[in-house]
Structure 1
Amino acid sequence: MKKLLSGLIDFRKNKLPGLRPLFDKLARQGQKPDVLFFACADSRVVPNLMVSTDPGDLFVVRSVGNLIAPANTDGISVGDVSEASAIEFSLAKLPIEHIVVCGHSRCGAMEAILAGRENYNAVPNLKAWLAHGEAAFPRLERSPFIKPELPAVDRLSQANVLQQLEHVATYADVRKRVDAGTITLHGWWFDVATGDVHVYDKERGGYILLDEAEAERVLGGQAAFQHS
């Protein structure tokens, strides 16, 4: 808490003066992000730092394991409705053109899923939530491009990103817009040890380092995730 408070004081003294025009504009005109960004709640993953964005650039949803409960046939989330409501709100109220699901290395949620949910009876809400990540196991079996030399937790984490994108696509408005070409889905994976981001690129055979060349492919729609 001491670091948070000292950081807030530093922000007010040294950074806020230069940002006042931006905050004034956001207050008057509202937010207009074009990206809905799903990330893990892990404290090592900081989306705005990772992509060097300003306030107003990203609509961020964070959850344990960057999990998103899928929709049932009535369009209602089968789990917690927080992520589902963020999808509905952002698509209804914001100019969203891209949806990113970003996983990361050494994810604690993936470690818990690997260990088995039966070990988490003492934390029933977490145990129930982790169920939305268990479909990553069969997804991993269908993803031979995920490098076998990676630790098991990282292999599962990369598969989980793709599975959660499938969950996102179960929401009718997302699916309709993806099919119409007005929204693009993206799978990202952040390596905590190196700070590198890797993007899922089906045409190039899996997760590729997101450098300038790959960024151009993403912008050109060549590295989009295609839901099944």
Structure 2
Amino acid sequence: MTHHLPEHLVAGYRTFLEKRLPAERERFRELAEAGQHPPTIVIACCDSRAAPETIFNSSHGEIFVVRNVANLVPPYEPDGEYHSTSAALEFAVQALKVEHILILGHSGCGGIHAALSPNADPLSPGDFIGKWMSLLDPVAKAMNGNEQMTSRERHAALERVAIRHSIGNLRTFPMIRDLEAQNKLTIHGAWVDIANGDLWSMDPESGDFERMNFETA
């Protein structure tokens, strides 16, 4: 039989058919008939190493995932332009009525590197990434202005500062601001270290990131 997909995808699908689908067939049927009702939307980076479903060990229908370069949220600007992330937020909040929004950052983010290197050669003709990462211009400029930090320190810091910046942008959406004020919606931030799997959650009061530790004495 001829396949029109890359061989590694074909092999993965075959494994899915032979192993996972039989074990979860009832779950798939339920989702198809009843629709999706995830309690949380996760806005994550499109980096292939930082998959939220893997990090949170989630199955089908359990989290609503939106991925873009550097897990950014733009401000509320219904200006007629294309806003993929904003549209997904609107759907999750108003149609799915999620209870939580999580911005999930990660170590070694290439988009953050681009934000800190505005004078570098564009990654591609037209440079969509440069335009997208300009959302971080105010905080990236402030970070680059700190001469006491090394480039690696600035990169690591901006990965977390960008999460707080996106949370600020989330609150420019009237629907989100109103639901949060009514305690019907909670906003969260987290950052994952790809190398060791450590997850750091953001304290909603201080903005500090604290490593989640499940070790017992």
Q: Distance in 1 between matches of 2:175 and 2:70?
A: 24
In the superposition, the TM-score normalised over structure 2's length comes to: 0.85
TM-fit CA distance, 1:212: 4.3
Worse overlay, 78-87 or 131-140 = 131-140
* 3-state SS of paired residue (1:45): coil
Residue by residue over 1:99-154, the C-alpha shift from the partner in whole angstroms, topping out at 9 and shown as x without a partner, is 0001111100001111115632733322211111223337769xxxxx99963211
Amino acid at match of 2:102: V
Q: Is the 8 A contact 1:97 1:182 kept in 2?
A: yes
**Number of matched residues?**
205
Q: Is the 8 A contact 1:69 1:78 kept in 2?
A: no
- Number of the residue aligned with 2:107: 105
Residue by residue over 1:5-28, the C-alpha shift from the partner in whole angstroms, topping out at 9 and shown as x without a partner, is 211111110111011000000011
**Percent of aligned pairs sharing the same letter:** 28
Q: Distance in 2 between matches of 1:150 and 1:164?
A: 21
2:45 is aligned with 1:43: no
- Number of the residue aligned with 2:167: 165
Q: CA RMSD in A?
A: 2.5
Q: Is the 8 A contact 2:116 2:141 kept in 1?
A: no
Q: Distance in 1 between matches of 2:142 and 2:25?
A: 46
Q: Distance in 1 between matches of 2:95 and 2:116?
A: 38
Q: Is the 8 A contact 2:116 2:140 kept in 1?
A: no
- Number of the residue aligned with 1:122: 125
Change (3 A) 1:117 1:70: farther
Q: Distance in 2 between matches of 1:77 and 1:37?
A: 24
TM-fit CA distance, 1:80: 3.9
Q: Is the 8 A contact 1:104 1:190 kept in 2?
A: yes
Q: Distance in 1 between matches of 2:61 and 2:180?
A: 23
* 3-state SS of paired residue (2:59): coil
Q: Distance in 2 between matches of 1:206 and 1:96?
A: 25
- Number of the residue aligned with 1:206: 208
Q: Distance in 2 between matches of 1:78 and 1:140?
A: 32
* 3-state SS of paired residue (2:61): coil
Change (3 A) 1:97 1:77: farther
Correspondence list, 1:1-228, <5 A: 1-72=6-77, 76=78, 80-116=82-118, 119-120=121-122, 122-137=125-140, 151-203=153-205, 206-212=208-214
TM-fit CA distance, 1:64: 0.6
- Number of the residue aligned with 2:3: none
TM-fit CA distance, 1:98: 0.4
Change (3 A) 1:77 1:117: farther
* 3-state SS of paired residue (1:102): strand
Q: Is the 8 A contact 2:70 2:109 kept in 1?
A: yes
Residue by residue over 1:141-194, the C-alpha shift from the partner in whole angstroms, topping out at 9 and shown as x without a partner, is 9xxxxx999632111111001101111111100000111111110010011111
Amino acid at match of 2:66: V
Change (3 A) 1:9 1:178: same
Q: Is the 8 A contact 1:69 1:77 kept in 2?
A: no
Structure of higher CA gyration radius: 2
Question: Unpaired runs of 5+ in structure 2?
Answer: 1-5
